[in-house]
């Protein structure tokens, strides 16, 4: 009897496990089917509304941004490695009989290397610069979609009968002028993401090499950095649709803080100068 009861219980448990596994697989199948159905509907809607080229433009811009910041990260990683190696070399010379052969700059680098516990830049330095460049490049492009003269010039070129108008119309098919504000918002989103992550990475880097910030960067980076974050808070908090619709004057006048924002961004860096933002602005102005 006991063996029979154990057999019945074991069979019942196996049936319950099989039923549970069957329900789980069916649930996954339904979820997968719904996802495939949603993707087909989304793709059909995109093709019907001629949005394929717009998504291609967004994908291309995101790819360009990723490649750009990745190259910047690799560049500053090599800079940090070279400076740390030079600091190690000068530090060894400083503590040897040949200390008098060092120049004042080399001696300062050796002392900074020793004060930071054997390094000048930490592991967070390339990350901080990468996110800073993400903010810089998008802040350079963010102005183009809201430049009325630039938009008007593109419209005039695309509507004339010259050969160049065909090329302009083809380019605008990927990013229509009536959707320029969407590109402005995309740049704003990426700039905010870059600013937040740039600040976070620099705080982590400061915990690694505090003496570097006192000697190399100076106090102005903190002043301009705080000013940038305050300006971004004013710009972004009044840019929501509810504020634009209900209190447009607040949105309009607060958005003039962009002058302070760009001025602070231009002077945010070592020796009170941003080494990258002005280059992005120059390239942007040349291209436009």
| pLDDT tens digits for range 151-182 | 888 888 888 877 778 888 888 888 888 888 99
**Within-domain flag for 40:** yes
Tell me if 126 sits within 8 A of 77, measured CB to CB.
Answer: yes
Q: What is the predicted pLDDT for the residue at 6?
A: 53
**Within-domain flag for 187:** no
| Residue position matching structure tokens 């004060």 | 115
Mean pLDDT by 10 residues, the chain (288 residues): 51 64 70 71 65 86 96 95 95 90 92 93 96 93 88 84 78 82 94 96 95 90 94 94 90 93 90 75 50
**Within-domain flag for 31:** yes
**Within-domain flag for 273:** no
Count of domains in the chain?
1
Cβ neighbours for 274, distance < 8 A, ≥ 6 positions apart = 136, 265, 266, 267, 268
Helix (H), strand (E) at residue 6: helix 2-48
Task: Determine the structural domain holding residue 39 and report its residue range.
Answer: 1-48
**Within-domain flag for 18:** yes
**Within-domain flag for 16:** yes
Q: Which two tokens stand for residue 157?
A: 């070129």
Q: Which two tokens stand for residue 110?
A: 């050796």
**Within-domain flag for 9:** yes
Q: What is the predicted pLDDT for the residue at 35?
A: 67
Q: What is the predicted pLDDT for the residue at 287?
A: 44
């Amino acid at each position: 009897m006991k063996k029979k009861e154990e057999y019945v219980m074991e069979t019942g448990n196996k049936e319950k496990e099989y039923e549970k596994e069957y329900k789980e697989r069916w649930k996954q199948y339904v979820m997968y089917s719904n996802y495939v159905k949603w993707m087909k509907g989304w793709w059909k809607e995109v093709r019907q509304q001629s949005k394929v080229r717009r998504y291609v433009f967004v994908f291309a811009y995101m790819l360009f941004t990723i490649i750009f910041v990745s190259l910047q990260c690799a560049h500053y990683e090599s800079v940090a490695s070279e400076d740390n190696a030079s600091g190690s070399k000068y530090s060894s010379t400083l503590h040897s009989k040949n200390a008098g052969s060092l120049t004042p700059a080399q001696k300062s680098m050796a002392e900074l290397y020793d004060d930071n516990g054997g390094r000048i830049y930490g592991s967070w330095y390339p990350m901080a610069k990468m996110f800073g460049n993400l903010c810089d490049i998008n802040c350079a492009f963010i102005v183009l979609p809201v430049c009325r003269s630039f938009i008007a010039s593109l419209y005039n070129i695309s509507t004339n009968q010259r050969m160049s108008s065909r090329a302009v119309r083809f380019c605008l098919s990927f990013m229509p002028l009536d959707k320029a504000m969407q590109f402005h918002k995309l740049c704003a989103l990426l700039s905010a993401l870059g600013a937040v992550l740039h600040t976070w990475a620099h705080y982590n880097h400061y915990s690694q090499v505090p003496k570097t910030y006192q000697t190399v960067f100076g106090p102005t980076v903190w002043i301009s950095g705080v000013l940038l974050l305050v300006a971004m808070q004013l710009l972004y908090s009044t840019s929501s649709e509810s504020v634009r619709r209900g209190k447009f004057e607040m949105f309009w006048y607060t958005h003039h803080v962009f002058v302070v924002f760009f001025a602070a961004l231009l002077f945010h860096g070592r020796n009170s100068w941003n080494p990258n933002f002005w280059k992005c602005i120059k390239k942007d102005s040349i291209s436009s």
